[in-house]
Chain A
Amino acid sequence: MSLNFGNLLGALPGGIAQGIIWGFMALGVYITFRLLGTSDLTVDGSFTTGGAVTVMLVLAGVNPVVALLIAAIAGILAGTVTGFLHTVFDIPAILAGILTQFALYSINLAIMGMAANRGIPVGKYVLYVTSRNIPGSILAAGLLAAALIALLYWYFGTQHGSAMRATGCNQEMAKAQSININSMKVIGFAMANGFVALSGGLLSQYQGFADINMGRGAIVIGLAAVIIGEVLGNALLGKHLNFAGRLIFVVVGGIIYYFVIVIVLWLKLDSNYLKLLTAVVVAIFLAVPNLQAKSKTSFRLAGKRSMKSSREDA
């Protein structure tokens, strides 16, 4: 077994392109996980919905950009369903997301005409994002990412967007300031899943097909991107990391995640273990802040101190 460094360099641009594409999904996860303070598991389903809708529309002769737009709207609808389950029927957010995701499996199959995967025939359609033109894909996806980050930055600075952030931060405060927290949550879930479905649509165009399982574990990859981006952003910019910077680093987190995948594949490690690796990395990063807090104060430490002082007394 030999490792060819040239192969690694050759694979990196593809990693960047896919990283940016997953970055859109990570932006969606950022909205629910960091700004609304909940975990939305709808995304595993709505990611596939985005892919399925895009591929079927492209096959039907719809312009690929319009197809992406409609895919995003499909994601917005999926998020709205989760939002209603959570706010109108008081179902815990995580369970509401799982229910929608579960239902979407059937819906996604139906969208794809009861096939587990559907391909876009090579060369027959004009795609702006495709693995057959990686530099062009990076440019197109990069520009779209920049535009959407600017849009998010603007929105969350407006009165409406600030009310949504307040809802995620402190519901009691939000209600006391006459903010309808339920409608804020529904809009947040809808928006997040719009991003996720857009990401799924872009990936289906990039790889040339949609697969019923393409969204499996998407939430974990999204979280990985968010967390990697935060750690990196804080390390590089520290206190100067503002909101725009955080959003940019979410997408950067997606790119780095895909670099890791490229390296794992280059090392000829069994890619089967990728999901295990991702889960472990995310678990560690979620645990670190809590462990840091515990290293300062815990029952174990208090017990030790007590034993030490009683020994000294004796």
Chain B
Amino acid sequence: MKTMLRVNNVCKTFNPGTINEKIALNHVNLELEESDFVTVIGGNGAGKSTMLNAVAGVWPIDEGSIFIDETDVTGLPDYKRAYLIGRVFQDPMTGTAADMQIEENLALAARRGMKRGLSWNVKNADRQMFREKLATLGLGLEDRMQTKVGLLSGGQRQALTLLMATLQKPKILLLDEHTAALDPKTAKLVLDLTKEIVEENHLTTMMVTHNMRDAINIGNRLIMMDEGKVLLDVRGEEKKNLTVEDLMKKFEAASGEEFANDQALLSK
């Protein structure tokens, strides 16, 4: 098996030397095999999103190194490593350009990591492919390709972002609580789409979630983070047999803390 992501001893401290100093990542080590689907859970401030942002290259890390598909990306800013990465954000507004048409957004995503020249952005040859891909979402967007994305609902935009993130097969797909801002019904729809797309394309995926049940049911591996460290790493059969109660017990055992504070957040 090929290692798709290697997070090697990564540290990140926010606001160092001030009263707000926060050690967000504390010597994190993590390796993802090709087509691993990892769910990431943990309390508020545990470092889940921070780890995703470190991999995405939102800011430089303080220590350690990050490899995606054997490429050292530690020194690359987000847009320079974006050719390897698909991203879906928590806020459905973040992943798409509201003032541009659906097909324009897709055309931009289709050239992720490629040179953008002076040829037409949306080509007729691509339209057919966009239409087919949009049809797989089952939202009727294939008949509204010239609609501005700003007119779509949050769920539709998130589904479109997911499509855009995977239009060019990414080496790793980063999902940062991408269903948290949606109503339960839409959240389920986007989550089902996520499973479909990931399975179909055998994508290596990291998904942060606040929903313990989703974390257990989806993917082949689960990690739990606390205070900037990976506390727990469960995979395969062991993961399948997990229950929410198990997770909470394991959390308490590993961190030596009461789970009560986070219980409300890590909804069952």
Q: Chain A: residues with CB nearer than 8 A to chain B?
A: 155, 157-163, 165-166, 169-170, 172-181
Contacts and interface: CB of A to CB of B under 8 A. Distances in A.
B96 A170 contact: yes
B185 interface: no
B97 A166 contact: yes
Contacts of A163: 108, 116
B109 A177 contact: yes
A177 B121 contact: no
A178 B94 contact: no
B76 to A, nearest CB: 11
B117 A169 contact: no
A177 B112 CA distance: 5
B259 to A, nearest CB: 33
B82 A157 contact: no
28 contacts: A155-B118, A157-B120, A158-B119, A159-B111, A159-B116, A159-B117, A159-B121, A160-B117, A162-B108, A163-B108, A163-B116, A166-B97, A166-B100, A166-B108, A169-B97, A169-B100, A173-B94, A174-B79, A176-B95, A177-B109, A177-B111, A177-B164, A178-B82, A178-B113, A179-B79, A179-B108, A179-B116, A180-B80
Contacts of B23: none
A176 to B, nearest CB: 5
Contacts of B108: 162-163, 166, 177, 179
Q: Which of A159, A174, A177, A179 has the most CB of B within 10 A?
A: A177
B121 A157 contact: yes
Given A159-B119, A159-B121, 5 more contacts: A158-B121, A170-B96, A174-B79, A178-B80, A178-B82
A176 B52 CA distance: 13
Interface in B120-174: 120-121, 164-165
B164 A170 contact: no
A175 B82 contact: yes
A166 B108 CA distance: 8
A163 to B, nearest CB: 5
B82 A173 contact: no
A158 B120 contact: yes
Interface string B91-107: 00111111110001001
B251 interface: no
A186 to B, nearest CB: 14
B99 A165 contact: yes
B69 interface: no
* Residue of A158, A173, A174, A181 most packed against chain B (CB within 10 A): A173
Among A160, A172, A181: residue with most chain B CB under 10 A:
A172
A308 to B, nearest CB: 31
Nearest to A170: B97
Given A162-B100, A178-B113, A173 B119 contact: no
Nearest to B150: A169
Given A161-B121, A162-B107, A178-B113, A170 B82 contact: no
Contacts of A175: 78-79, 82
Contacts of B112: 177-178
Interface in B184-241: none
A189 B268 CA distance: 51
A173 B113 contact: no
A247 to B, nearest CB: 15
A177 B85 CA distance: 9
A165 B149 CA distance: 14
A179 B109 CA distance: 10
Contacts of B85: 176
A150 B91 CA distance: 36
